[in-house]
Chains A and B, each alone.
Chain A
Amino acid sequence: MLRAALPLLGLLLAGAGAVEEPTQDPGLPGEPPPGLELFRWQWHEVEAPYLVALWILVASLAKIVFHLSRKVTSLVPESCLLILLGLVLGGIVLAVAKKAEYQLEPGTFFLFLLPPIVLDSGYFMPSRLFFDNLGAILTYAVVGTLWNAFTTGAALWGLQQAGLVAPKVQAGLLDFLLFGSLISAVDPVAVLAVFEEVHVNETLFIIVFGESLLNDAVTVVLYKVCNSFVEMGSANVRATDYLKGVASLFVVSLGGAAVGLVFAFLLALTTRFTKRVRIIEPLLVFLLAYAAYLTAEMASLSAILAVTMCGLGCKKYVEANISHKSRTAVKYTMKTLASCAETIIFMLLGISAVDSSKWAWDSGLVLGTLFFILFFRALGVVLQTWVLNQFRLVRLDKIDQVVMSYGGLRGAVAFALVILLDRMKVPAKDYFVATTIVVVFFTVIVQGLTIKPLVKWLKVKRSEHHKPTLNQELHEHTFDHILAAVEDVVGHHGYHYWRDRWEQFDKKYLSQLLMRRSAYRIRDQIWDVYYRLNIRDAISFVDQGGHVLSSTGLTLPSMPSRNSVAETSVTNLLRESGSGACLDLQVIDTVRSGRDREDAVMHHLLCGGLYKPRRRYKASCSRHFISEDAQERQDKEVFQQNMKRRLESFKSTKHNICFTKSKPRLRKTGHRKKDGVANAEAANGKPQDLGFQDTAAVILTVESEEEEESDSSETEKEDDEGIIFVARATSEVLQEGKVSGNLEVCPSPRIIPPSPTCAEKELPWKSGQGDLAVYVSSETTKIVPVEMQTGWNQSMSSLESLASPPCTQAPTLTHLPPCPLGTEEPQAPLNLPSDPHPSFAFPPSLAKAGRSRSESSADIPQQQELQPLMGHKDNTRLSPGIANSHWCIQFNRGGWL
C-alpha cells in the first residue's frame, strides 16, 4: 500500500523519477511486442496527471477527515493539521524511499499554487473596506516590511558579530539582509488560513491581510536587490545600485499594480461581449487573471500585486456582466482552486521539512531569528500604529496592535524564496533553509494555535455578521454623500471627496464602457440590495414550505423582527378584523356567487398574502407544464414580477394587517385540511401515503391559485386594497389528490397536468348562491384566535422542517402518531404574543418561481412544504371540536359533496 502511495507523492516534485515503479507495470521497453493485448497497462502515459489528481485527492480527503470532528477543527487551524499531516507523509516517504526528495518546488509554488489563492483573495476582497484602510495597509506593507527586513537582517548580523552564531555559518551582512528580506514578509496564505477561522473584526482583518498581500512587492524587490548584491559581492556594489534598488521598488510595485489594472480592464471589457457565449465567462475570468499574473512574473514585477489588483478592479464590472450562473461558477471554482492550492501548500510544507539533508541546524541562528522576527514585528507595529493613529479616524488600540503583531505569520512564500537561493552564492543557504522552516512552522503552528485563545482572552472585537437591510444601504450612501459634501464645504479635499469623485467618474465613463447596457441599468447598489433581499425572502419562503401565508412581508426574514402591538395583541386583532369586515363587504358585493364559502375564505387568504399579478402570468403559468424549455424564463419573469409587486400589496394591506392576516390563515388552514381529507380519502385511508399526496396537492394548489388570481385581477380592477378574490378549486384538489395518490412512485409535481378549466369552473362569481358577507363579518371575530394558533403551529412546524433535512424527516413524520402535534396546540396561544419568527407571506406564484429556480433540487422544498401541512392535518383530525377546523370540514363537504 505504501508503495502504491509513493508515486502519488512524486508529483510537483523534482527528481520524481527515482520513485520505485509499481510492480504491476508491464510496459517496459525492450520487451517484444506481444501482439494484440487484451489488457494493456499504460502507467507511464498517465503518470504525471494521475499523480497530480491523486495528490489533490489525498489533500481533499485529509480535509474531510479533519472536519469530521468539529472539536478538533475548532481548536486547531486547518493549516496546522495539514502541516502535521505533511510531516507524517514526509516521514513515510523517508522511511520507504530512504531519502527525502519531495519538497515544495518554488516553480510549482509560484506558477501554480500561489495564483489561485491570491486571485481568490483579491477578487473577494471587500473593496470598500480595503480602500478605507488603504493608508494603514500601505504603511504596514511598505514601511513595516522594510523595517522588518532591515532590522532582522542587521540584528542577526550583530548576533554573528557577537559570536552567538556558529562560525560555520558563513554569511556577511548582505547575506543576513537577504535572509531578513525573505523572512520578514507576512505571508498571505498563512494569514488567510489562520485569520479566516479567528473572525476578528473586519478592520483588523483587512489590515493584516491587506498588508500580507501588498508587501509582496516590497519582498520581491528586497529579495532581488539583496540577491543581486550578494551575487555581485559587496565590494562591487556602487551607489547607483542602491538608487536603482530604491527605484525598482516603485517600478515593481506600481508596475505590478498597473499590469493588474490593465488586465482587469481587459477582462471587464471582454465579459461585456459574452452575452451569447455565457459558458466561457468563468473561463475568461480565470484566464485573464492568470495572464495578469504570468505577465507580471515575466516582467519581474510583483505578480501578487498584479493579480490582486486585477481581481479587485474587475470584480464590479465582471459581476455585472456575467450571468448569474457564471457568477456562481466563478465563485465556486475560485474557492475550490484556492482551497485546493492552500491545502497542497501546507501539506508540501510539512513534507519538505522531512529532509535531513536540508537540516543544517544552528541554534543561535534559529533562536535569534525567531526572537528577532517577533520582537521587531511587534516594535514595528507599535511604532507605525502610533504614527498612523495621529491620522486615523478610528484608532487602532493596544489590543489591535497585539493581534497585528502576533498575526504576522510567515509561510510558504518565505520557504519558496529561501529554496530559490543559490548555494554557490549564498554558502549559508542550508542554515537559512532550516531556520526558515523552523520559523514557518513556529508561526503557523504555535501562533496559529494560540491566536484564537488570545483573541478570545483579549476580547478583541469580533466581526459581526448582520444581514444588510435596505435602510442601512440607503443611509450608508447618504452618509457618503453627506461626508463628501461636508468636505467640499470645509474646503478640504480628503478621502471622501476623492472617493466621491471616483464614483462619479466611474458612473459616467467606466461603467458605461465596461458594463453591458442591460447590466448597467440594474447595477445600482441600492437596487442590488433590494433585489438580493427579495431573492433571499423568496428562497426562505420556499424553504418554509411556501404556503405559510400571513400578512405580507411583515415578518420577512430579511427584515428586523418587530413586535408591533397590532401584530401580537389578539384583542387588537379582533377589533381590527371586525372593522375590516366592511372592506370585505365591498369586495364581496362584486362577487355574485357564494355557493362555496370555502372559496370566499380563500379570497381573503390571498388578499392578505398576494397582490395582483399581471395578466401574462396566466399565459406563462398555463404554459408552465407544456413547454419545459420556456419554463425557466417564465419562472424568472414570474419571480421578478412578484418581487416588484409584492411590496405594493404589502403597502396596501399594511393598515389592514390584522384583518388580512387572520382570515388568510383561516382560509388556508381550512383549505389545507380539506386537502388532507381529500387525499386521505383518495388514498383509501392509508396514512403512509399521505406524504406524497400532500406534496403534490400543495403544489397544484399553488398553481391553480395563480391562475385564478389572474382571473380575478381581470374582473376586479377597482380593487385598490390589494384584496383579490380568488376561487379555490376544491374539486381540483380532490382530483389531484387522487392523481398524486397514483403517483407514489414518482412524486414529481410536473407530471400532473394543471386543470385550469376545473379551476375556472369553481370561480365563485360563476356559481350560485350564498352570502359571503354575512359569513365573513360573523366568523372572523370568533375564529381568529384559533386561527392564529393554527397559523402559529404551521410556522413552527415549517421552521422545524427547515432545521432538519427534509428527506429524512418527511417519511418519519408521516408515520408519527398525531398526538404530539395535538398536544402542542394549547400552548400555541401563549407563545403567540412573543412570536419571534412570525410567518410571512408570499404570493404562491413566487413559491413556484423559487422552486423552479432550483429545479435540480425541486424535491426539497416540496418535501418541506409537506410537513407543516401534515402537521396541520393531524391537528384538525385530532381535534375536530375546534370550531374552525370542524367548520371547515363540514363546509368543505358541503361545498363539495
Chain B
Amino acid sequence: MRNVLGPSGIGTKASSSSAHLLSLSQRDLDSVHSSAMGSLSSHAAIIPDLDSIRRETGCECARLRWLEPGGWGRRRCNAARMDLQRIGALAVNPLGDRIIESFFPDGGQQVDFAGFARVLAHFRPVDDEDIGNRDPKQPEPLNSRTNKLRFAFQLYDLDRDGKISRREMLQVLRLMVGVQVTEEQLESIADRTVQEADEDGDGAVSFLEFTKSLEKMNIEQKMSIRILK
C-alpha cells in the first residue's frame, strides 16, 4: 500500500497544511513530479507552490483528501489513477470512470497536487465578490460558469473533438439510464436529446449548443460544492 499512514500522522488543518506538504516532499523526493505551474524539485519552491495553487484555484487546499491523514499526499506528491479508483463510492458512480479520467487530461497515470486542485476548483461555489473584484485581464477563474460547463461537456465528449456526437450521447445515456430501458428506447432518447440541442443540424452537440441548452439552469449552483469554498 502506498498510501499508508505516515509516522507523523497528525491532523492537517489550514495552518499546517503547507508545512505538511513540505515535509512530505522532502521524504519522497524521487516521486516529485514537475507540476504545470512550476517545478516542485526544490524545497523552497514548495510552499509558494501551495500558495500559488491556492491563488490560482481558490481552493482551501487543506480540506482536500489529498492532504488529510490517510490521503495520497501523505507519502507522495502525486496520486495515481489507482488511488482514485480505490475510492469505494466512485466505483458505483455511473460516471466515476469518466470523472477519474478528467483528472488525467493527458492520459497519464499520475496527477500532482496542482492538477488535482485545479480539477476540483471547477466545483468551487461562485462568489459574487470574486466576480466584482476580478481583474478583467486575467483569464476566467476555473469556477466560472463556462468552465463548469466545459468540465461537464468533456465528460460527454470522449474523443475530444469539441462535439457530442450521437454515439457519445448514447454512451452516456447507457451509463445513466437504468438497464430497464431497452437499447431501442435508449437510441431514441439519444436521438431526441441530440436533436433538441443541435442547432446547426450537424447531428452533434457543440459546446456552444451545450451551453445554450442549459442556459436556463443555474449552473453556478448546481455544479458547486460548498466545502470547496
Contact = CB atoms under 8 A, between A and B. Distances in A.
Interface of A: 391-394, 464, 466, 469-472, 474-479, 481-492, 494, 496-497, 500-501, 504, 507, 520-524, 526-527, 530, 533, 553, 559-560, 562, 564, 566, 643-648, 650-651, 654-655, 657
Interface stretch (B27-35, B133-141, B220-228): B220-228
A657 B212 CA distance: 22
Nearest to A468: B216
6 contacts: A476-B222, A478-B152, A479-B152, A482-B123, A522-B180, A644-B188
Contact of B178 (A496, A500, A524, A530): A524
Interface string B179-202: 011001101110111011101110
Contact of B217 (A475, A504, A524): A475
B95 A650 contact: no
A67 to B, nearest CB: 31
B85 to A, nearest CB: 11
Nearest to B188: A647
Contacts of A478: 95, 152, 155-156, 172, 176
Contacts of A464: 216
A559 B228 contact: no
Contact of A650 (B93, B156, B173, B195): B195
A613 to B, nearest CB: 14
A564 B225 contact: no
A553 B180 CA distance: 26
Contact of A489 (B120, B172, B187, B221): B120
A481 B94 contact: yes
A566 B217 CA distance: 28
B162 interface: no
Contacts of B192: 470, 530, 533, 553, 647, 650
A394 B221 contact: yes
A484 B89 contact: yes
Contacts of A651: 166, 191, 195, 203
Q: Which of B63, B120, B156, B185 has the most CB of A within 10 A?
A: B185
Contacts of B24: none
Contacts of A487: 225, 227
B193 A501 contact: no
Contact of B99 (A482, A507, A564): A482
Which of A476, A496, A562, A643 neighbours the largest number of chain B CB atoms within 10 Å of its CB? A562
A488 B64 CA distance: 10
B65 A526 contact: no
Interface string B81-102: 0001001111011111001000
B209 to A, nearest CB: 9
Interface string B109-130: 0000000000010010100000
B225 A490 contact: yes
B168 interface: no
Contact of A393 (B84, B125, B166): B125
B123 A559 contact: no
- Report the interface size class on chain B: 35 or more
A485 B151 CA distance: 13
* Among all A-B residue pairs, the 10 with the closest Cβ atoms: A491-B65, A471-B213, A521-B180, A647-B191, A485-B99, A481-B95, A470-B193, A393-B226, A647-B188, A488-B89
B152 A482 contact: yes
B37 interface: no
Given A489-B87, A490-B228, A479 B189 contact: no
A474 B172 contact: yes
B195 A553 contact: yes
A20 B92 CA distance: 72
A68 to B, nearest CB: 35
A564 B227 contact: no
Given A481-B95, A482-B223, A489-B65, 9 more contacts: A393-B226, A482-B99, A483-B223, A485-B93, A486-B99, A488-B87, A492-B65, A501-B89, A553-B192
Nearest to A395: B128
A469 B213 CA distance: 8
A485 B92 contact: no
B64 A490 contact: yes
Contacts of A477: 176
B120 A393 contact: no
Nearest to A397: B128
B68 interface: yes
B216 A472 contact: yes
B161 to A, nearest CB: 19
A527 B177 contact: yes
B4 interface: no
Contact of A488 (B93, B156, B196): B93
Nearest to B87: A488
Of A393, A471, A500, most buried by chain B (CB within 10 Å of CB) is A471
A559 B196 contact: yes
A472 B213 contact: yes
Contacts of B173: 474, 526
Contacts of A504: 92
A723 B154 CA distance: 35
Given A472-B217, A524-B181, A393 B224 contact: yes
A553 to B, nearest CB: 6
A482 B180 contact: no
B214 interface: yes
Nearest to B219: A479
Given A491-B71, A564-B201, A651-B191, A479 B222 contact: yes
Contact of B193 (A391, A474, A523, A644): A474
A520 B179 CA distance: 11
A391 B226 CA distance: 7
B181 A494 contact: no
Contacts of B155: 478, 482
A876 to B, nearest CB: 32
A481 B102 CA distance: 14
Contacts of B93: 481, 484-485, 488, 500
A647 B213 CA distance: 19
A654 B221 contact: no
Nearest to B71: A491
Contacts of A654: 195, 201, 203
Given A485-B99, A500-B93, A479 B181 contact: no
A466 B216 contact: yes
B227 A492 contact: yes
A657 B201 contact: yes
A156 B112 CA distance: 63
B132 to A, nearest CB: 15
Contacts of A648: 187-188, 191
A185 to B, nearest CB: 30
B221 to A, nearest CB: 5
Contacts of B196: 469-471, 559-560
B200 A564 contact: yes
B224 to A, nearest CB: 6
Contacts of A474: 172-173, 176, 193
